[in-house]
Structure 1
Amino acid sequence: MRHVVELSKSERTGPSERPGVPWRLIGPTVLVPNLLNSLGQSATITAVPLAASALTRSFAIAALVAALITLGQLASTLPAGWVVDRFSERTAMVGSTAVTAVGGLLAYIGSSIPLLGLGAALIGAGVSVFAMARHAWITVTVPVPVRGRTLSAVAGFTRLGNFLGPFLAAAAFHVSGRSEAAFLVVVGTSVGLLVLVAIARFPESTTPTGDHGRQGVLGTLWNSRRTLFQLGLTVSVISSMRTGRRVLVPLIGVSLGWDNVSTALLLGVTGALDFAVCYLGGSLVDRVGRIHVAVGTLVAFGLSHLAAAVALVAPASDVVYIAAVAVMSTANGISGGLVPTIGSDLADPNAPATFLSSWRLVTDAGGSVAPIAVAAFAGALGLGSACLAMALTASVAAGLLPRYARRHLRTRHPQP
C-alpha cells in the first residue's frame, strides 16, 4: 500500500538536493517503538532459560524452551506479511504488541513448562509481526536515497534495546527475587508501545491499487523463488556471521584462558564499537552502494574469522583475538541495516509486505541455523575448524554476491 507522506522542508528534495531522513515522522512511529520492542525482547531472552531451568532443573529443557522464541518468530514470518498486507502497518503493530503482552503475562503467571513455552512462542510471534510491520512502513514512507541510513538507525535502536534489556531483567530479578519477574518488563514495554503507536501520527494510506495483494504471500514466495534462493541466501550469510560470532567469540576466549569478566568486558567494549558505527554504515550503504558495502562486510567477516582461527595457535594470541573481535564488531555495525535495505529495494512499493515476509524468512533462517552449525563444527572438529568454516562461507558469499545482485537488484541508487 502506498502512503502519502508530507515531509518538512528540510526533508524534501529538489533537482540537486538529497532528501533527508524524515526523523520527525519515523521517531514516534518507528524508532522509539523499536527501542521498547527490543527492550522487551532482550529481557525475555534473558528470562526464559532462567525461568525454565528453575521449573525443571534441566538445562536441556531450558534450552528447548528458550528456542521457542526463535521458532515463534520464524513460524510467524510469512503470516506476518499477510497480516500487514491485509490490514495496515499500524494495525499490525498494535495487534502484535498485544500478542507480546499476552505472552509476557502467560510466561509470568505460568507455573509449568507448557505455559512458559506458550508465552515464549507468543512473544516471538509478536516480535516478528511487529518487525514486519516496521520494515514495510519504512519501505513505503522513506525515500530510497536515505533508506539505508533509516534502517541503520533502526538497527542502532535495536542494539540499544538489546544492551539495556538484560539490565532491566536483572533489576526485576533483584527486586522480586523471582526469575519470572523479568516478564513484567515485557508487559510494561508492550503497554508503553501500545500507547505510543495509538497516539503517533501515521499518514493515511491511499486506496489500494487494483492488483494490490493479488499474488498473496505464497504466490509472491513462489514467483520470487529465484531471487530468494540466489540473492536472499547469499545475503543471509551476513546474518549467519552475526549470530555465529555470538557462540564463537566467548568460546575462543575460554580456550585462550580468559576469565568470564575479561571476556564480558571485551564483548561490552566491542558492542559499543558496533553501536557507534551503525549509522556510519547506513550512510555508506546510501552513498557508496548496497553491494559494495555488502561485499566489504563479507570480506571483513571472512578475514576476522580467519584471524580468530589463527589466534588459537598464534604466539600473540590475545592481541590477534582482540583484533579479530573488533573487526567482527565493526563489520556487524556497518552492515546493521543492510539486509533489510536490500529487501526493501526488491519489494513492490505498492504491497511490500508480501515480499518482505519471504525475504525476512530466508535471511533470518540463515542467522538461526548458524549457531547450530558452529556448535556442530566446534564439537566435531574443534573451534579452529569452526572459524575456518565461517571464513570460507563468507568468502564464497562475497564472490557470488555481485553476480546475483546484478541479476536481481533492479533499483538504481543515486551516487554522490
Structure 2
Amino acid sequence: MSVAVTPSPPKGPGVGSGDVTDESLSGKQWRRLAISVYLPTTLSFIGFGAVTPLIALTAHDLGATTAQAAFVVALLGIGGLLGALPAGALTQRVGERRAIVGSLILDAACMAVAGFATHLWVLAAAVLVMGLSGAVLIIGRQSFLTEFIPFRFRARALSTLGGVFRVGALLGPLAGAAVVTVFDLRAAYWLAIITSLAAAATSALLPDLPEPEHHDSGEPTRMASVLRAHTRTLLTVGIGAAALMLVRATRDALLPLWAAEIGLGPAETSLIFAASSAIDLTLFYLGGSMMDRLGRRAVAVPAMVIMGAAFGLLPLTATAAGLTAIALGLGVGNGISSGIVLTLGSDASPAVGRHQFLAGWRLVTGLGQAAGPLLVSGLAAVASLSAAALTVGAIGLLGGAWLWYWVGPPPRRE
C-alpha cells in the first residue's frame, strides 16, 4: 500500500507582486525567485565548494595527522546531522528569511575563524558550526519553496534548487583553485566570506511568509509530536529517499577507488568524473518537469534502477571506456533525480508543523547520505570493491521497488 501524500497548496502571498495561484507562475515571479533564492544559493555553494577541499590541507598546516584532518572534514557532515532538528525548530520560530540570512552571516563568520585559525580545535569548531548553519540553509530554502510555489511547479522549483547545488559544487573548487594559485590557501576563505555575505544580502529580498502555524490551542507545534504523528511516512517514503541518497553518495567514493583498481591515473579519473557531472547538470530541469507532469514515481524509480544497474555492472569494467559508460549512467540517474528527495519531503510535509517535519526528513535522508561512503569503506576492508559495488547496486534496485510501492501514483487533479 502506498503512503498517501496529499500536498497542501502553498499559502504564501506569492513570489513577487500579486498572488501565486495553483494555476500560474509569472515570469516576474520566476525572476524574483531566481534573485532571492537561486542566486544566493549559488553564491553560498561556490564559497562552500571553494573551501571544502581545502579544509584537510588547513588542518595539516595546523599540525593535524591524516586521521585528524579527515575527522575535521567529517565534522561538516556531523554538523549537518546534529543541526537538522534544531534547524527546523529555529526556522519555525523566526521564519525562513531571518533563519537563512542569519545562517549565512554565521557561515561567513565561521569561514573567517576557519581561515585564520591558529589551533586545530578552533578549526574543528568552526567546521562543525558550518555544518550546523548548512542545515538551516537547506531546510529554510526547502520550506520557503514549499510554501510559495504552486504544487504544479514544485518539483521543477526544487529540482532547480538541486541543480543550483550542483553548479555551486562544480564552480566552487574551480574558483578556489584560481584564488589559491594567485594568492595563498587563506584566499579561498576570503572568497567564501564574500560569497556568504553576498548571499545573505540577496536572501534578504525573500518575501515574508505567513506567521508559523500553531495548534488550535495556540500552543506552538512541538517537534516530538510532529515526528511522532508522521513516523510511518518517515519510515516508508523517508527510508526510500535515504536509500537514494546512499546510492548517490557512493558514486563519489566508489568511482575513484575503482579507477585506481583498474590502473587509471588521476587525469583520466578526473575526465571521467567531469563527463558524469556534465550529464548530471544537463538533466535536473528535465527531471523536475517529468515529476510535475508524470508524478514523483516516474523519476524516483527509474533513477534508482539506472544507478543500481550501473553499480551492479561496475565490477565487469576493466577499461577507461567501460568506466566512462558506468559514470555516464550514474550521471543520468543522479541528474534526473535532482530535487526528488526535497520534493518527496515537501509533498509529505503537513501544513501545521512543516518545518519540524522537514527537519526530521533531513535527518533521515542525511543518515542515508552519510552511510554511503561508510558502507563502501567497510565492505572494501572486509571483502572487496566488487562486493561494495554489488551491494550498492542491490540497494539501488531494491530501493527503486520500495519507492514504487510507497510513493504511489501522482494525485489526480481537476
TM-score (norm 2): 0.91
Q: Give distance in 1, aligned partners of 2:398 and 2:219.
A: 36
Amino acid at match of 2:273: L
CA shift digits 1:302-350 (9 cap, x unpaired): 11001112215xxxx4333211110101100100110100100011234
Task: Confirm whether residue 5 of structure 1 aligns to residue 18 of structure 2.
Answer: no
- Does structure 1 retain, via aligned residues, the 8 Å contact 2:37–2:206? no
SS at match of 1:349: coil
- After TM superposition, list the pairs within 5 Å mapping 1:244-393 onto structure 2: 244-312=250-318, 317-393=319-395
Structure 1 moving runs of 4+ over 3 Å = 6-14, 18-22, 206-215
Further displaced range: 348-357 or 115-124: 348-357
8 A Cα contact 1:244 1:371, kept in partner: yes
Provide the C-alpha distance between the structure 2 equivalents of 1:40 and 1:175, rounded to a whole number of angstroms: 17
Pairwise CA distance, 1:218 = 2.2
Deviations 1:189-223 (A, max 9, x none): 1111121122x151452574554774322221222
2:13 touches 2:19 (CA, 8 Å); kept in 1? no
Deviation at 1:75, TM superposition (A): 0.7
Task: Report deviation, 1:46.
Answer: 1.2
1:103–1:121 contact (8 Å) kept in structure 2: no
Q: CA deviation at 1:51?
A: 0.4
1:156 and 2:158 correspond: no
C-alpha distance in structure 2 between counterparts of 1:74 and 1:63, whole Å: 17
> For the Cα contact (< 8 Å) 2:215–2:221, is it kept in 1?
no
Structure 1 residues 137 and 9: CA distance shift in structure 2, 3 A: closer
- In structure 1, the gaps of 5 or more residues are none
Name the counterpart of 1:28: 35
What is aligned with 2:47?
40
Tell me if the contact between 2:95 and 2:211 (Cα under 8 Å) persists in the aligned partners: no
Distance in 2 (CA, whole Å) between partners of 1:29 and 1:297 is 30
Residue of structure 2 in register with 1:53 after alignment:
60
Aligned length: 403
State the alpha-carbon separation in 1 of the partners of residues 37 and 328 from structure 2. 29
Residue equivalent to 1:113:
120
Distance 1:220 1:172 in 2: 46
Computed over aligned residues only, the root mean square deviation of the Cα atoms, in angstroms, reads 2.2
TM-score computed with the length of structure 1 as normaliser: 0.91
User: Following TM superposition, by how much is the alpha carbon of 1:180 offset from its aligned partner in structure 2, in angstroms?
Assistant: 3.2
Secondary structure at the residue paired with 1:56? coil
Q: Distance in 2 between matches of 1:104 and 1:413?
A: 47
Distance change in 2, residues 1:337/1:413 (3 Å): farther
Q: Which residue of 1 aligns with 2:5?
A: none
Cα distance in 1 for residues equivalent to 2:71 and 2:209: 42
Distance 1:101 1:196 in 2: 14
Structure 1 distance, partners of 2:201, 2:243, is 37
**Amino acid corresponding to residue 3 of structure 1 in structure 2:** G
Q: Give the partner amino acid of 1:324.
A: I
Residue 141 of structure 1: how far off its partner (Å): 0.3
Residues 43-82 of structure 1: matches in 2 within 5 Å? Answer: 43-56=50-63, 58-82=65-89
Following TM superposition, by how much is the alpha carbon of 1:134 offset from its aligned partner in structure 2, in angstroms? 0.3
